[in-house]
Amino acid sequence: MARTSLTVADLVAWTQRFRDLMVEHRAALTELDSAIGDADHGSNMARGMQSAVEKLEQTAPETVGAWGKSVGMTLVSSVGGASGPLYGTFFLRFGASGGDATELDAAALGAALRAGLEGVLARGKAEPGDKTMIDALGPALDAFDAAVDQGLEAAIAAARDAAAAGRDATEPLQARKGRASYLGERSIGHVDPGATSTAYLFDALATATGSAA
Amino acid sequence: MKKLINDPDGVVRDALVGIEVAHPDLRVDHENRIIYRREPTRPGKVALISGGGSGHEPLHGGYVGFGMLDAACAGEVFTSPTPDQMVEATKTADSGAGVLHIVKNYTGDVMNFEMAAELAESETGVRVASVVTDDDVAVQDSLYTAGRRGVGVTVLLEKIVGAAAEEGRDLDTLAELATRVNASGRSMGMALTSCIVPAAGKPTFDLPENEMEIGIGIHGEPGRHRVPLAGAREIAEQLVEPILADHDFTGAPAIVLLNGMGGSPLLELYLMYGEVQRILEASGVTVARSLVGNYITSLEMAGCSVTLLRADDELLGLWDAPVATPGLRWGV
C-alpha cells in the first residue's frame, strides 16, 4: 500500500541519502562549479551534509521542527559560502513549518517544502531564471503541488523529475546571481551546480521514501 | 598539484597554527577559526571585524593588530566563514562600543555576515554596523550580476578606518567613514595563470600560454574578457583606463595599491607599478601614497590588480597613522 505520510525517521533517511549523493558526486559538482563559480560546491556540500548526518546520529530529533533545526543550523555553521546560508535556511524554514509534528502528510510536506523555498528566495534574493538552485527548487514544488491529489509518492516522484528538468534547463541561461554572474555570457552552456545539488536533494527524497517510480 | 601542504582538507587549520606561532601579538581561536589581537579591545574602542575565504593572505588575518582589525574570521579556501564564527568574534571583540563588520561584496560573505549581524544583535545586544566593499570596475552591469566585487579597497579601508577607530571615534562615525572610503575607491585586476584550490587539486580555469584574463576577481572566477598576452605597458593601460573611466581621480591626492595576486614576483610588480604611475601622471592624477606587493591574493595566481583611492588630508592622515600588523607595519 502506498504510504500517505513521512515520519521523522523518513526525514533522517532523506538527510542520509542526500549526504551519500553529495559525497558520491563531490568531484562532479566541484567540476561544474569550476566552470562558472569557484570550484568548491561539491567539497562544501559533502562536508556540510556529513556534519549534518553526524549531528542527527548524536541527537536523534523527535519532531519535524527539531530535525529541520538540527540539519539547518549544522549546514549554516559548517558549509560557509552561499550554499551554507541557502541550504541552511531551506531546512530551518522546512522544520519551522512542520513544528512539533512527528509526521507529514502530502499537504503538510508540500507546505514545508514551500516554506523552505520562500526562505531561500528571501535569503538569496534570486528569481527564477537567474541560473541558481531556485530553477530546480521552484519547478519541483510546482510539480509536487500539481501531483499531490495522486498521493504522496506520486507527488515526490513528480517533484524529483521536475527538479532534474529544472537543473537541465539552467544550461542555456546566463547567470545573474552569485559568482557565476561575473562571467556574463560566458556562463551560458554550463549547468548550474546549485540547481544540480537541488536535483539530488529531490532524488534523495524519492529514493529514501520509496517513491522512486 | 604541487603544494606545501599535509592534507588538502586541513590547509586552513594547519596555516592558523603557523600564523599564531609566527606572530606573538596575535592569538588564534582554533575551534572557531578566529584570529584576534593578543590584547583585548580597549574599553570605548569600536571593534573592527572582517573575514572571508582563506587563500587571500595576508587578507584578513594578516591585518589584525594595532591600527587595523580586532578580529578576522577564516573560512575554508575561497569560501565565506560561517555566521557562528562571526557571532563569536563579534561577542569576544566587543568592548561595549559596538562592532563594525567589513564585508567584501561576494554573495556568500554578504549572506553569512547578514545572518551573523542578526544573530549577534538578537542574542547578545552588541551593536553591529556593516560596510560592504564593492570597488571592482570589472563587473560592468551590476543590475544583472551580484554587484561589483569587493577587492583591493578592502585593504585600504581596513587601514584607514582602523586608524580612526584607534582615535576613539564612535560606531556611526566609523561606518560613515568606511562608506565614504569604499565609494572613493576603484580596482581592476588581471591574471596570467589560474590558481589551484587545494581541495580541487587542479587549475580552476585553463588559460593558454598566449592569453591573459582581464578583469578577474580573487577566486579564480574568470574576468571581463580573455585577450592575447601583451607587454606590461599595455596591461597597465588595460587596468588603469577602466578605473579612470569609472571615477574622477583628478584634483585630489590618490592612494595607489599595485597588488600581486600571489604568483608574480616583486620584480614584475614594481615594473608594473612604474607603468601604472606613468599613466596616472599623464592622466592628471596626483599620486600621494603608494603600496606595492602581495596584499589581497588569490593563492598562486600570477597577475596583479590596481586600486585607486581618491583621498583628502583626513584620509592621508589616517593612512599615515601607525600600524602594526603582520601584513602592514609602519610608524611604530
- The single residue of B56, B60, B225, B247 carrying the catalytic annotation is B56
Confirm whether B3 is domain-assigned. no
Judge contact between A203 and A167, C-beta under 8 A. no
Same domain, residue pair B262 and B227? yes
**β-strand pairing of B253-260 with B303-310:** antiparallel
Q: Which residues of A touch B221 (CB under 8 A)?
A: 37-38, 179-180, 182-183
SS (H, E, C) A17-71: HHHHHHHHCHHHHHHHHHHHCCCCHHHHHHHHHHHHHHHHHHCCCCCHHHHHHHH
Of B9, B107, B141, the CB nearest to A179: B107
How many other CB atoms are found less than 10 A from the CB of residue A150?
13
Confirm whether B4 is domain-assigned. no
B260 vs B256: CA distance, rounded Å: 13
- Which domain CATH number covers A133? 1.25.40.340
Are residues A38 and B199, on separate chains, in Cβ contact within 8 Å? Answer: no
Confirm whether B276 is domain-assigned. yes
Same domain, residue pair B152 and B211? no
> Of the candidates B184, B205, B223, which is a domain's last residue?
B184
Which of B54, B82, B104 to substitute to test the interface with A, most A CBs within 10 Å? B82
Tens digits of per-residue pLDDT, B65-96? 999 999 999 999 999 999 999 999 999 999 99
Same domain, residue pair B78 and B149? yes
Say yes or no to pLDDT of A212 above 80: no
pLDDT at B48: 98
pLDDT at B118: 85
Question: Would you place residue A184 in the very low, low, confident or very high pLDDT band (cuts 50, 70, 90)?
Answer: confident
Q: How many independent structural domains does chain B possess?
A: 2
Same domain, residue pair B223 and B318? yes
Report ipTM (2 d.p.). Answer: 0.81
Question: Would you place residue B62 in the very low, low, confident or very high pLDDT band (cuts 50, 70, 90)?
Answer: very high
Closest CA to A67 of A41, A22, A33, A104: A104
Confirm whether A35 is domain-assigned. yes
Confirm whether A212 is domain-assigned. no
Arithmetic mean of pLDDT, B129-138: 96
Q: How many independent structural domains does chain A possess?
A: 1
Peptide bond connecting B40 to the previous residue in cis, omega within 30 degrees of 0? no
Same domain, residue pair B210 and B278? yes
Closest CA to B105 of B67, B153, B167: B153
Same domain, residue pair B147 and B200? no
Q: Which amino acid makes up residue B214?
A: I
B308 vs B39: CA distance, rounded Å: 33
Confirm whether A213 is domain-assigned. no
Mean pLDDT of chain A: 95
Tens digits of per-residue pLDDT, B92-109? 999 999 999 999 999 999
Judge contact between A132 and A126, C-beta under 8 A. yes
What is the extent of the structural domain holding A141? 5-207
pLDDT at B219: 86
Question: Would you place residue B142 in the very low, low, confident or very high pLDDT band (cuts 50, 70, 90)?
Answer: low
Question: Would you place residue A80 in the very low, low, confident or very high pLDDT band (cuts 50, 70, 90)?
Answer: confident
Question: Would you place residue A54 in the very low, low, confident or very high pLDDT band (cuts 50, 70, 90)?
Answer: very high
What is the extent of the structural domain holding B28? 10-184
Confirm whether B196 is domain-assigned. yes
By CA distance, what is A122's nearest residue in B? B111
Handedness of CA B267, B272, B278, B281 (dihedral sign): negative
> Of the candidates B138, B165, B184, which is a domain's last residue?
B184
pLDDT at A213: 65
Judge contact between A77 and B83, C-beta under 8 A. yes
Tens digits of per-residue pLDDT, A6-46? 999 999 999 999 999 999 999 999 999 988 877 789 999 99
Say yes or no to pLDDT of B204 above 90: no
Chain B nearest-CA distance from A103, in A, is 30
Same domain, residue pair B172 and B319? no
Confirm whether A60 is domain-assigned. yes
Please tell me if residue A178 touches chain B, with a CB cutoff of 8 Å.
yes
- Which domain CATH number covers B230? 3.30.1180.20
Decide if B247 is catalytic: no
Confirm whether B86 is domain-assigned. yes
Strand, helix or coil for residue B125 = coil
Q: Is B131 left (phi over 0), alpha (psi -120 to 50) or beta?
A: beta
Q: How far is CA B269 from CA B232, B263, B272, B276, B294, in A?
A: 10, 10, 5, 10, 9
pLDDT at B143: 64
B224 vs B217: CA distance, rounded Å: 10
Q: Which residues of B touch A81 (CB under 8 A)?
A: 53, 75-76, 79-80, 108
Decide if B225 is catalytic: no
- Which domain CATH number covers B53? 3.40.50.10440
pLDDT at A139: 98
Angle of helix B107-124 relative to helix A83-98, nearest 10 degrees?
A: 50
Say yes or no to pLDDT of B140 above 80: no
